[in-house]
Structure 1
Amino acid sequence: MNWNDCEMFCHVVEHGGFSAAANFLSHPKSSISSAVQRLEQELDTRLLERTTRSVRVTEAGEILFRRTAPLFAGLHEACAEALGSGREVTGMLRIASPYEFGAHHLAPVACELMLRYPKLQVQIDVENRPINPLTEPYDIVFAMLESQLPASSVVIRRMFSLQRDLFAAPSLVRDRGRLQRPDELRHWPLITSSADAGWSFVDSDGVDHQVAIASPRVISANADIRMQAAMRGLGITRITASFCADAVASGALARVRFAGYTCEPLRVYALLPGKKLQPEKVRHFLDALAGHARQTREDMGWQFHHDKGAARI
């Protein structure tokens, strides 16, 4: 097996497509596509299903990615540690992030690194507006898929794909009754983010269904405010599953799911200012965050497999 081709394939999966992988690696998109095609021919199996709009991982591709991506990550980490063993992680690391992601995913990683490296300082600014790291003084800018991404001169690295669901107070679900399709949400009171133009759902055939947002009851960019409003029975909201896991576990919120439909996940990208070598503080933070992402996927997968708090509507 050509391991370079295999690593190219892992980058396509990790970054969500050929263009994003090409941008991250500074390689032509055509060379990455050729690498994946060679790998598929060598293995005699389809790893990616390609359409004009998206790339979807097949079952065989998911198995290969899950087993090999950690090996490549470990190899690069070992090499980086060997090269940087004499370098100190120090200075101010400036990060911009939306609140929902920063509070639950960046904060624990930042605290862990500062305990490990006493000379490291971290500044995390909560920003919901689009930020270009080429023009503002941040080492890392985290952006959601809905945000407008900057020019291609910015390095874009996909870090998280967070499960999102609809949540509401159990009493509201009981009072409102059963729903069959996402478009019936227009009859419900909605609690939305100020960035929400619509909510997207994918059916079992992979077809997207958009629900337009009209006259929401509560609007806030702050996920905690939306969650509190939902717990008070003011409407149904869309939030990442990890953010309100405790509220679901306590019974204050119920997950609301349509049979045969899933919410579009929240994809989080790290935007880096240019293709130069990453400072030690940036590299260590992104490596630690990638480890946190893997652990989160494992934890949330177990939790929601055993979750009793879903309201199947």
Structure 2
Amino acid sequence: MDLLALADFVLVARHGGFGRAARATGRPKATLSRRVAELEERLALRLFERGRRVLTLTEEGRALAERAGALLTELDETAAAIAAGGGRARGRLRISAPLLFGQTAMGKVAAAFAREYPEIRLAVTTEDRAVDMVEEGYDLVIRVNPDPDESLVGRVFLRDRMVVVASPDLASPDLASPAGGASVPAVVRAEQGPGVWALAGGGRLAVAPVLALSSLVMVRDAVRAGVGAARLPVSLVGPDLAAGRLAHWGDVEGSDIALWALYPSRRLLSARVSAFLDHLKATFPTGEPEELAAFIGG
């Protein structure tokens, strides 16, 4: 494929027309129009719908503009870095992170990264859905126990596990009985009825939800207030357990959590992404739950 024609197409798409692209860059309008027409012919696709006064991208053109624009930016930055002799990473870095990690740790992680790499413009969004990295323009995503994805590669940088905790004032149940004895009040994340929590080592805990809250931070705060027991990650309640503000009733069976940093395998690993991966490794050298708990509480 002709990269020059592809670059001219992306240029026109970004400026919203041949005339605007020509005026912004000083390139002849006729040259831009010819290059885009040649690209459409080569691909056997219509990339623009051409009206009298309006030029709009087709669905295929929009998809090509998004993906080709990201790839061309990577190529430009890679060439610039090589030409500069491997200088400092620079440019924009977009990251998507899960809500809990974003609320509790990402602010401190991002601030330290910004101080170390002042030429990188870091932008972080937090949400628990699995974003489409290419379509939505992310350079790196952090995911919890992600499903296998052949289009993404990455590494685990943190591990966590779920534990059952409660206020020390709440009477501890008999975990040796078949279902933990009488039901104990519980704080849960979603609307859930009575049930049984399985604990590592074979213990079982019968629970009766008294509160349903939308975030683990809210759940922790309610448990601190003595409303009931809850299943929470060690990273979120480690300081409370160490200080005696919460009591540990047991580990949740099969609740190992892995936080992955992922990026598209088909793209070159940019200097920005590489720098952030190194920063995560330096911030969490052991990757253990207690390390994250200390980081959050510090």
The correspondence for 1:297, drawn from 281, 284, 288, is 288
Equivalence for 1:167: 165
Equivalence for 1:189: 185
Equivalence for 1:158: 156
Distance 1:84 1:144 in 2: 37
Equivalence for 1:109: 109
| Cα separation, partners in 2 of 1:299 and 1:211, compared to 1, 3 Å | closer
Equivalence for 1:249: 242
The correspondence for 1:240, drawn from 208, 233, 243, is 233
Distance 1:84 1:125 in 2: 31
**1:132-178, Cα deviation, whole Å (9 max, x unpaired):** 32332221222212x6x364212243222113311111111x2x533
Distance 2:155 2:178 in 1: 31
Distance 2:181 2:96 in 1: 33
Residue 99 (structure 1) shift = 2.4
Query: What SS does the aligned partner of 1:125 have?
Result: strand
Distance 2:105 2:161 in 1: 13
Residue 202 (structure 1) shift = 4.1
| Cα separation, partners in 2 of 1:220 and 1:295, compared to 1, 3 Å | same
Equivalence for 2:30: none
**1:61-93, Cα deviation, whole Å (9 max, x unpaired):** xxxxxxxxxxxxxxxxxxxxx999623222222
Distance 1:136 1:293 in 2: 28
CA RMSD of aligned residues (A): 3.9
Residue 285 (structure 1) shift = 0.9
The alignment status of 1:273 with 2:271, answered yes or no, reads no
Residue 217 (structure 1) shift = 2.9
Distance 1:126 1:301 in 2: 18
* More displaced 10-residue stretch of structure 1: 121-130 or 191-200: 191-200
Distance 2:101 2:177 in 1: 29
Residue 286 (structure 1) shift = 1.2
Equivalence for 2:175: 179
* More displaced 10-residue stretch of structure 1: 195-204 or 158-167: 195-204
Residue 253 (structure 1) shift = 1.5
Query: What SS does the aligned partner of 2:260 have?
Result: strand
Equivalence for 2:124: 124
The alignment status of 1:226 with 2:219, answered yes or no, reads yes
Aligned length in residues:
212
Distance 1:96 1:187 in 2: 39
Mark the runs of 5 or more structure 2 residues left unpaired by the alignment.
1-81
**1:141·1:272 contact (CA, 8 Å) conserved in 2?**
yes
Distance 1:89 1:266 in 2: 31
Aligned-partner residue type, residue 227 of structure 1: R
Residue 118 (structure 1) shift = 1.3
Equivalence for 2:27: none
Larger Rg: 2
Residue 283 (structure 1) shift = 0.9
Mark the runs of 5 or more structure 1 residues left unpaired by the alignment.
1-81, 304-313
Alignment of 1:1-313 (within 5 A): 86-145=86-145, 149=147, 151-172=149-170, 174=171, 176-180=172-176, 183-184=179-180, 187-194=183-190, 201-203=199-201, 216-257=209-250, 264-297=255-288, 300=291
**1:4-52, Cα deviation, whole Å (9 max, x unpaired):** xxxxxxxxxxxxxxxxxxxxxxxxxxxxxxxxxxxxxxxxxxxxxxxxx
**1:175-223, Cα deviation, whole Å (9 max, x unpaired):** x53322695389222223349999664438xxxx9989x8733333422
Give TM-score scaled by structure 1 length: 0.56
Aligned-partner residue type, residue 158 of structure 1: V
**2:235·2:293 contact (CA, 8 Å) conserved in 1?**
no
Distance 1:271 1:226 in 2: 28
Distance 2:181 2:265 in 1: 42
**2:159·2:258 contact (CA, 8 Å) conserved in 1?**
yes
| Cα separation, partners in 2 of 1:297 and 1:220, compared to 1, 3 Å | same
Residue 119 (structure 1) shift = 1.6
Residue 117 (structure 1) shift = 1.4
| Cα separation, partners in 2 of 1:90 and 1:198, compared to 1, 3 Å | farther
